């Protein structure tokens, strides 16, 4: 198998109660039925009576506490951990493919061939049988599928067996259920044959809606791996596009396109995209992992892949961790920042953050859809070692209890907070008081130790940490759009944020340079970056306190100021009159005074 982005890990230990993730709910349990009462979300089917009884008992003690992080995990997450660190204790990821699998090749001499032709199918070899164009595989082996089925299905029912399903020019459409249904297998691997083009499409309504019925065009009850060097186009008209009730791994050099009525790609225990190209258009979440009964599961790990997600709700959602290591990710959630609903702020009154409202308050709008589409949301941690992540979200850009950016690029355009470090349903030892006091430090931590972060926010805050925030390396650029309510920074706890706010206007595509400007300085360039938003003023974080800098854009002139410690409420439009560290032109952008306090006015 190609190198995995996740060796394994989670940052929390369960206290026995059920959790609903950062969104105060697991959308799987409350998904609107895409096709009426006959359609069932596979997540709701996974619950057993035993776990239900245990959860009921635990919830009598606490209806909100879901996870309690242990000391070592908190320390690890709060010191700028790597993806390997964060995932070191997670469930082991399946590693079952061979070099031949990943290359999209196979040994035809020992394989069983399945030829599809309209409403019929022919099987040549052992281990499979055909009835009409429905083919059932009941033994281990390699099965090569080609041709087109206009009303067919591929079913795998081979307990404890190793099954390789090679799609080599296979086009399967079902009018009664899933196109591929892996009911039972020891190891299930789908290989996209070298140079092949394949399609899978399910029915809009399923004949079987029982508890164990499939709920996706490509569905597996067991851990599933997809590899090879071919392409696959999946249409999930009933519910999900690709879904596994256990783990799901995408590797090789595959090109996969998914269009789904509900979630695009879901691995309940974990979802790992190691490589290849993945494009998802989803009526709900783009990528999802939602296991909430085991703190070592419920994570999404992205490796050397190219991922494009367009989702009506969250782009990526994980019950525990999201990790990015070398990935190029482009996310549009809820129509993007342009689709944000900006609420007017009443002067002198605290404004409720939709992300901190109760499940009942935040779960749905009047049309039944999610009220807060986010780019990336993780119940425990978001960690990026490298790669480029571009988020355009109607609500928050990235939300997790622990957010670590060690390198790479993270560019966010958000309707609400750009980055929100919030414990959500994670209760961190020593910070229990934050459950009832929204202004208290809840123990969450944002750490930027390298790389480049750009945030453009339409309302609320650019960087919002309900706990602490540290920028110890790299460069962070923040700007609020016209009408943004609060400031560039809002931190409840401790912070290490040194920077300045300048008024050179910037236009998307400009090159912005930050240069040391003191008389005794050699004029060393600190940063040069291509700006991904348009604004009249910017806040630059990641500088040296007391050092004078010049911030210049290719279209908006330049501003010179002295870097100082930044605090909450700074840098937002209308945040105050120009102070030390700001250029006098372009008024209205708040900034740091010489002592680092927020400006008056």
522 domain residue, yes or no: yes
Torsion of CA 228, 384, 11, 73, to 10 degrees: 140
336 domain residue, yes or no: no
Percent of the chain at pLDDT exceeding 70: 72
Contact indicator for 225, 97 with CB cutoff of 8 Å: yes
260 domain residue, yes or no: no
Q: Average pLDDT over the chain, rounded to whole?
A: 80
Residues 368 and 275: their CA atoms lie apart, in Å, by 35
* 438: confidence class by pLDDT, cuts 50, 70, 90: low
Domain that holds residue 158: 98-225
Q: How many domains is the chain built from? A: 2
Percent of the chain at pLDDT exceeding 90: 61
74 domain residue, yes or no: no
Query: Taking every pair of C-alpha atoms in the chain, what is the biggest distance, in angstroms?
Result: 84
Across the beta sheet with 13-14, the strand order is 13-14, 67-69, 426-428
For residues 404-432, one letter each, b for 16 or more C-beta atoms within 10 angstroms of the residue's C-beta and e for the rest, the string is: bbbbbbbbbbbbbbbbbbbbbbbbbeebe
The H or E element spanning position 166 is strand 153-173
Give the end of a domain, one of 202, 225, 248. 225
582 domain residue, yes or no: yes
Q: How many CB atoms lie within 10 A of CB 7?
A: 15
pLDDT for the residue 51: 40
pLDDT value at 159 more than 60: yes
30: helix, strand or coil = helix
251 domain residue, yes or no: no
* pLDDT, tens only, 547-601: 999 999 998 788 899 999 997 755 544 333 333 334 323 322 223 322 333 323 2
Between 588 and 538, the more confident residue is 538
* pLDDT, tens only, 281-325: 999 999 999 998 898 999 999 999 999 999 999 999 999 999 999
Strands 445-457 and 287-289: unpaired
Give the end of a domain, one of 172, 194, 225. 225
pLDDT for the residue 501: 85
- Tell which phi-psi region holds residue 44, choosing left (phi > 0), alpha (psi between -120 and 50) or beta: alpha
Lowest mean pLDDT among 286-300, 342-356, 489-503, 532-546: 342-356
Contact indicator for 403, 446 with CB cutoff of 8 Å: yes
Between 361 and 498, the more confident residue is 498
Indicate the DSSP class of residue 535: B
* 66: confidence class by pLDDT, cuts 50, 70, 90: very low
141 domain residue, yes or no: yes
* 55: confidence class by pLDDT, cuts 50, 70, 90: very low
Q: What is the pTM of this model?
A: 0.81
Lowest mean pLDDT among 85-99, 396-410, 525-539, 556-570: 556-570
pLDDT value at 33 more than 90: no
Residues 405 and 383: their CA atoms lie apart, in Å, by 6
306 domain residue, yes or no: no
pLDDT value at 61 more than 70: no
pLDDT for the residue 578: 34
pLDDT for the residue 388: 98
Give the end of a domain, one of 179, 194, 225. 225
pLDDT for the residue 342: 60
Residues 16 and 98: their CA atoms lie apart, in Å, by 38
E-strand stretches of 193-298: 197-201, 216-220, 224-228, 231-236, 240-244, 247-250, 255-260, 265-267, 270-282, 287-289
């Amino acid at each position: 198998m190609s190198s995995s982005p996740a060796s394994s890990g989670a940052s929390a230990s369960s206290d026995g109660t059920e959790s609903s993730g950062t969104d105060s709910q697991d959308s799987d349990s409350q998904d609107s039925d895409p096709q009426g009462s006959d359609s069932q979300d596979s997540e709701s089917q996974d619950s057993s009576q035993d776990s239900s009884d245990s959860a009921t008992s635990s919830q009598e003690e606490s209806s909100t506490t879901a996870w309690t992080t242990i000391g070592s995990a908190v320390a690890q997450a709060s010191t700028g951990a790597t993806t390997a660190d964060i995932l070191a204790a997670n469930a082991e990821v399946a590693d079952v493919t061979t070099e031949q699998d990943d290359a999209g090749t196979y040994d035809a001499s020992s394989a069983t061939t399945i030829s599809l032709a309209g409403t019929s199918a022919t099987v040549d070899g052992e281990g499979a049988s055909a009835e009409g164009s429905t083919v059932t595989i009941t033994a281990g082996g390699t099965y090569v599928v080609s041709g087109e089925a206009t009303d067919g299905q591929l079913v795998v029912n081979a307990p404890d067996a190793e099954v390789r399903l090679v799609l080599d020019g296979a086009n399967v459409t079902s009018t009664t259920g899933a196109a591929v249904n892996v009911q039972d297998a020891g190891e299930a691997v789908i290989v996209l044959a070298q140079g092949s083009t394949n399609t899978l499409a399910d029915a809009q309504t399923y004949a079987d809606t029982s508890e164990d019925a499939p709920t996706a065009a490509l569905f597996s009850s067991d851990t599933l791996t997809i590899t090879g060097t071919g392409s696959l186009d999946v249409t999930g008209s009933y519910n999900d596009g690709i879904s596994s009730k256990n783990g799901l791994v995408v590797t090789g050099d595959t090109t996969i396109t998914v269009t789904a009525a509900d979630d695009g790609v879901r691995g309940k225990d974990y979802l790992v995209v190691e490589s290849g190209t993945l494009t998802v258009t989803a009526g709900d979440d783009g990528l999802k992992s939602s296991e909430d009964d085991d703190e070592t599961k419920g994570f999404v790990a992205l490796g050397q892949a190219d991922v494009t997600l367009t989702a009506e709700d969250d782009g990526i959602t994980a019950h525990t961790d999201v990790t990015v290591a070398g990935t190029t990710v482009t996310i549009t959630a809820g129509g993007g920042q342009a689709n944000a609903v900006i609420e007017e702020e009443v002067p002198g009154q605290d404004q409720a953050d939709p992300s901190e409202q109760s499940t009942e308050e935040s779960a749905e709008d009047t049309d039944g859809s999610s009220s807060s589409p986010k780019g990336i949301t993780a119940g425990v941690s978001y960690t990026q070692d490298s790669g480029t992540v571009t988020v355009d979200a109607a609500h928050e850009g990235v939300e997790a209890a622990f957010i670590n950016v060690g390198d790479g690029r993270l560019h966010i355009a958000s309707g609400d907070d750009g980055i929100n470090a919030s414990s959500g349903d994670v209760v961190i030892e020593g910070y229990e008081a934050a459950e009832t006091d929204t202004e208290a430090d809840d123990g969450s931590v944002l750490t930027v130790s390298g790389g480049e972060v750009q945030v453009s926010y339409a309302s609320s805050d650019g960087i919002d940490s309900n706990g602490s925030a540290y920028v110890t390396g790299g460069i962070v650029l923040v700007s609020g759009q016209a009408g943004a309510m609060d400031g560039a920074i809002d931190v409840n706890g401790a912070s290490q944020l040194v920077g300045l706010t300048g008024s050179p206007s910037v236009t998307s595509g400009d090159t912005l340079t930050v240069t040391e400007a003191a008389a005794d300085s050699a004029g060393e360039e600190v940063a040069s970056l291509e700006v991904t938003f348009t604004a009249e003023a910017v806040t630059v974080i990641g500088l040296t306190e007391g050092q004078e800098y010049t911030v210049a854009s290719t279209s908006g002139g330049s501003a010179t100021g002295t870097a100082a410690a930044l605090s909450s409420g700074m840098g937002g439009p209308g945040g105050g009159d120009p102070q030390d560290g700001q250029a006098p032109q372009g008024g209205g952008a708040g900034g740091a005074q010489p002592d680092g306090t927020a400006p008056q006015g």
